[in-house]
């Protein structure tokens, strides 16, 4: 499994890719401005970490992954709630 070295920390490239893929799949079916913003932030930090591997993007990448994952879960739960209403 490829990993992205970020100074003294390691960020899992496969995890970033998987979270982005899930978010983009959701966005193909449903427009959500919050989700778009969080995808953009994670993608931007990921690209910066690729351009500047000597800089420590680990903390901001982990925060961006957490925020995007939380938004995905929130959207999913919100969809289930609305699906159960008459």
Q: pLDDT by residue (tens digit) across 21-79? A: 999 999 999 899 999 999 999 999 999 999 999 999 999 999 999 999 999 999 988 87
Q: How many domains does the chain have?
A: 1
Question: Could you give phi then psi for residue 9, rounded to 5 degrees?
Answer: -110, 165
| CA 6, chain centre distance (Å) | 17
Query: Domain limits at 24?
Result: 3-84
**Residue 86 pLDDT more than 70?**
no
Q: What is the pTM of this model?
A: 0.78
Based on the number of CB atoms within 10 Å of its own CB, is 55 exposed (0-12), middle (13-18) or buried (19 or more)?
exposed
């Amino acid at each position: 499994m490829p990993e992205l070295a970020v100074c003294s920390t390691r960020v899992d490239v496969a995890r970033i890719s998987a979270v982005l893929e899930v978010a983009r799949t959701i966005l193909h079916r449903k427009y959500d401005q919050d989700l778009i913003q969080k995808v953009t932030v994670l993608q931007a930090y990921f690209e910066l970490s690729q351009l500047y591997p000597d800089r420590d993007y680990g903390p901001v990448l982990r925060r961006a992954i957490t925020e995007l994952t939380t938004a995905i879960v929130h959207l999913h739960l919100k969809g289930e709630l609305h699906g159960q209403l008459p």
